[in-house]
Amino acid sequence: MIAAACLCWAASKPKPLSAYDSEAKALLVRMTLEEKIGQMTQPEQNELKDPADVENYFVGSLFSGGSSDPKEGNSLKSWTDLYDRLQARAQKTRLKIPILYGIDAVHGHNNVLNAVVFPHNIGLGCTRNAKLIEQVQRVTAEEIRATGIQWAFGPCVTVPQDIRWGRTYEGFSEDPKLVRELAGPAVRGFQGRGLDDPLGVLACAKHYIGDGGTVFGSVKTGLDQGDTRVDEATLRRIHLPGYLTAIEAGVGSIMPSYSSWNGVKCSASKRLLTDILKTELGFQGFLISDYNAIDQIAKDYKEAVGISINAGMDMVMVPARYREFFNDLKALVNEGKVPMSRIDDAVLRILRVKFAMGLMDPKRNQLADRGLQKSFGSAEHRAVARQAVRESLVLLKNEGKALPLSKKAVRLHIAGKNADDIGNQCGGWTIDWQGKSGEVTIGGTTILTAIKNTVSKDTKVTFSKDGSGAAGATVGVVVIGEKPYAEMQGDRADLALAPEDLTAVKTMKAAGIPVVVVLVSGRPMILGEVLGQANAVVAAWLPGTEGQGVADVLFGDYQPTGKLSFTWPRSVGQATAAPQFAYGYGLRY
């Protein structure tokens, strides 16, 4: 049903947000300065000094960062109750303007237990399947809406140029052409038939602009939040294309990047935010800053606020300093340092989106539609994720027809730290901001379990993390790669495989049996000696909860069809000179 419903409006041109200006302006003229600044203020829900601050500061938006969870835990009910509780507070304000609630749903509704967790974007990029990516975000939007939340901080349309960056997996590709092709369908998937679709959510293209082009060493951690040092023509050619198609698809919000362009923070650049995005490209939605990004603009907080708002920032993500932000911005307006026209423009943009979404419709209940919860984490939703996993896998090597595996093999010996670990399989942004190893969520299938589900009743499946005990097995499968990480903590100067991974492959090889290596990682890794030791190598990226999709390809129920969306280097720093595997590479059986 979702598949059929999702594509019928794909070609229709979205209604311009300015079509809602008459209603938005009628509300705007009734608002006090305090009510306007409230619409521009976005605290983090767990940082509220007092829940009554929602009405006292006329808060227009709230959000949950990567680990900003309900106190009661991460269940579907806890999340829905949290949303309803906070949304009800907005009804106590004079104008009763509903809250827009934002969340990082970057590969499914990944903060909630039992949600379907999809492959991260790096894997989706390898599918080259725009229709599937639209469908993935339709399912994600429906699961977000089941908790009441109506705004996803996605899609990420970054174009990573250095895979040492810890957010590489959030990008579809290193190639701006592919990002351009996939950004529009991702936005349409999130936003549905239009912003007023009760099964859709507001999308947010991010991180504008050049977040994936920072120079290694331009920050202490390496790359994240660093400086992109290119001329404007290069910036536009590499980093702008995803925004062009996102805007064409009607994206209602865009998040400027933490990073800088030639030494100027993107969140402080009038050239980027106003001249290019709003004036030249005609973006009619609103800009939302990243988490505490304002703090990085100037040492003096009030000065930083003024710089960013005057540059074109419309709503500011201020997790804990929201009272200070509110008072500083009010003072800046009263001192004439931020013109009232800039405040009115920002609030008009926010209200346009709220009217377009149906948030201002008195006939619509803004509390969660709990009827949607019956399909949350459902078999139908998981089937979409399983297809995405299958189509994302890239077969890098297949010597002597080691793959596909036979379901009737006498014994399969499975090894490696990522064979039976749902947390490692999902990666970062899964329940926790950085993700974590082990039983991070429920409802998923590890690769080991998927293999056991697939073989005949007569096939024996044995397992050891370190590869021992493989002697006498028909084939060995070693599932290795990275452990979870996200922004800031994911930057790495070295992309070599961990010693435990090398040992597991070596031990398996020593048993004298054919060895299949499955690599679970957020970026290409330096394969080194493993490439020579393995008979077959599959790049599985960060597949998410549906490990059965990996087994579908390993056993030949489906062909491997994925093509690399990043160049696979032979060694770090050598990038594209003589790659191990070229961009677009991928074998079939």
pTM for the complete prediction?
A: 0.97
Q: pLDDT-derived band of residue 10, with 50, 70 and 90 as boundaries?
A: very low
The answer to whether position 218 is within a domain reads yes
Q: Are residues 354 and 419 in the same domain?
A: no
Mean pLDDT of 109-131: 98
Does residue 501 share a domain with residue 423? yes
**pLDDT tens-digit profile of 28-37?**
999 999 999 9
Give the long-range contacts of residues 230-233, CB within 8 A, separation 24 or more: 230/261, 230/262
Read off the pLDDT of residues 283-314 as tens digits, 9 standing for 90 and up: 999 999 999 999 999 999 999 999 999 999 99
Domain holding 431, by residue range, is 393-554
In this predicted structure, the answer to whether residue 6 has a pLDDT above a threshold of 80 is: no
What is the arithmetic mean of pLDDT over 346-362? Answer: 98
Q: Residue 52: is it exposed, middle or buried by C-beta count within 10 angstroms (0-12/13-18/19+)?
A: exposed
What is the pLDDT at residue 273?
A: 98
Instruction: Assess whether 347 and 460 both reside in one domain.
Output: no
Q: Are residues 89 and 177 in the same domain?
A: yes
Residue % of the chain over a pLDDT of 70: 97
- The model's pLDDT over 64-115, given as tens digits with 9 standing for 90+, comes to 998 899 999 999 999 999 999 999 999 999 999 999 999 999 999 999 999 9
Q: Report the pLDDT averaged over residues 4-31.
A: 81
Percentage of residues of the chain with pLDDT beyond 90: 95
| 559 backbone φψ class: left, alpha, beta (φ>0; ψ -120 to 50) | beta
Do 322 and 415 fall within a single domain? no
Average pLDDT over residues 42-57: 97
Q: Is residue 412 very low, low, confident or very high in pLDDT (cuts 50, 70, 90)?
A: very high
| Domain assignment present for 58 | yes
Active site residues: 290, 487
> Read out DSSP for 408-428?
T-SEEEEESTTSS-HHHHH-S
Share the mean pLDDT of the chain. 96
Alpha helices in 203-316 (DSSP H): 232-239, 241-248, 270, 301-311
Mean pLDDT over 21-45 rounds to 98
Q: Check whether residue 329 and residue 465 sit in a common domain.
A: no
Six token digits for residue 138:
């339709």
Q: What is the pLDDT of residue 573?
A: 66
CATH code, 469: 3.40.50.1700
Asked whether residue 507 carries a pLDDT value surpassing 70, the answer given is yes
> Same domain for 403 and 317?
no
| DSSP conformation class of 30 | T
Number of domains comprising the chain: 2
Q: What is the pLDDT of residue 8?
A: 44
What average pLDDT does range 119-131 have in this prediction? 98
At what angle are helices 130-145 and 379-392 packed, to 10 degrees? 150
Is 254 part of any domain?
yes
pLDDT of residue 577: 62
The verdict on residue 385 lying in a domain is no
Q: Which two tokens stand for residue 301?
A: 């907080």
In degrees and rounded to multiples of 5, residue 55 shows phi and psi of -85, -35
Task: Check residue 578 and give its pLDDT.
Answer: 79
With 50 as the cut, is the pLDDT of residue 123 above it? yes
Domain membership flag for residue 585: no
Query: Do 353 and 406 fall within a single domain?
Result: no
Q: Does residue 318 sit in the same domain as residue 441?
A: no
Together in a domain, 288 and 417 = no
Give the model's pLDDT for residue 66.
Answer: 84
196 and 329 share one domain: yes
